[in-house]
């Protein structure tokens, strides 16, 4: 049986970052926690986001996203979310920042042990609809977390677990190609290869999903031609 759904609203254009204020308001957010990493801060991309948003629309910035998101980082960022009375999250960066943002949206509204919401712990049914709204602003190709319903988090006990729920899907993905132009060549190539790998595994997967297979073939051709 194939279950085919594409649920994420996507704003895709050069300069799409200008739409963040309107999209945040549409998602019901008034005071967002920005989840990002130090590389995004150093590159000036965070400043570009701050320039398009009113000062009071950003409650706080959490820029300590690790290379692979951890439970400790989720708890730290969720504490910042609560301390600054945030009501939404803007995750900006690669897949790690986006996955961490999903974890924060969950932890900030649900509480308790994060592992209880993992797929292997039967957590799907524990994740409620009231997850905090998330806006995803990817700055790399590859992970697809901006349109996915899952996040992979390394728990404090060392397990690498997936949080899976349709309620973790970002309210909107702001895809602005201009944000990728300043990436180092190695990172551009590496995330491009990641995108290729996802396209290959999608096409070869035993589950039948004709729209996804068509997208995978098109994506494979585009990625291989430009890396």
Cβ neighbors of 214 (< 8 A, separation 6 or more) are: none
The architecture that CATH gives domain 9-182 is 3-Layer(aba) Sandwich (3.40)
| Gap between the Cα atoms of 141 and 219, Å rounded | 11
Whose structure tokens read 């292997």?
120
- Per-residue pLDDT tens for 86-103? 999 999 999 999 999 999
7, two tokens:
């649920």
Q: Which residues of the chain have pLDDT under 70?
A: 1-6
Length of the chain: 227
The pLDDT of residue 206 is 92
Q: How far apart are CA 198 and CA 192, in angstroms?
A: 10
- CA 98 from centre of chain: 2
What the block records as the tokens of 82 is 């609560």
Q: How many CB atoms within 10 Å of residue 86? A: 24
Task: Give the residue from 167, 142, 163 showing the smallest Cα distance to 152.
Answer: 163
Residue 1's pLDDT is what? 45
Query: Which residues does 177 contact at the CB level (< 8 Å), separation at least 6?
Result: 14
Can you give the residue ranges of every domain in the chain?
Answer: 9-182, 184-227
At residue 4, the pLDDT reads: 60
pTM metric for this prediction: 0.93
Q: What is the pLDDT of residues 106-145, one digit of tens each?
A: 999 998 999 999 999 999 999 999 999 999 999 998 788 9
């Amino acid at each position: 049986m194939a279950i085919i759904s594409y649920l994420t609203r996507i704003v895709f254009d050069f300069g799409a970052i200008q739409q963040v204020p309107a999209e945040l308001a549409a998602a019901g957010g008034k005071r967002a926690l920005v989840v990002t990493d130090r590389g995004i801060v150093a590159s000036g991309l965070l400043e570009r986001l701050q320039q398009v948003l009113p000062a009071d629309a950003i409650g706080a910035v959490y820029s300590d996203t690790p290379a692979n998101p951890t439970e400790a980082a989720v708890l730290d960022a969720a504490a910042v979310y609560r301390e600054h009375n945030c009501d939404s999250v803007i995750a900006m960066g690669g897949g790690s920042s986006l996955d961490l943002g999903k974890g924060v949206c969950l932890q900030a509204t649900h509480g308790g042990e994060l592992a209880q919401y993992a797929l292997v712990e039967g957590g799907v049914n524990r994740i409620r609809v009231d997850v905090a709204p998330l806006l995803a602003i990817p700055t790399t190709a590859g992970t697809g977390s901006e349109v996915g319903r899952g996040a992979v988090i390394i728990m404090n006990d060392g397990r690498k677990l997936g949080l899976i729920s349709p309620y973790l899907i970002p309210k909107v993905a702001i895809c602005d190609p201009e944000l990728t132009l300043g990436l180092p060549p190695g990172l551009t190539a590496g995330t491009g290869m990641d995108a290729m790998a996802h396209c290959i595994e999608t096409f070869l997967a035993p589950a039948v999903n004709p729209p996804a297979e068509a997208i995978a073939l098109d994506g494979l051709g585009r990625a291989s031609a430009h890396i």
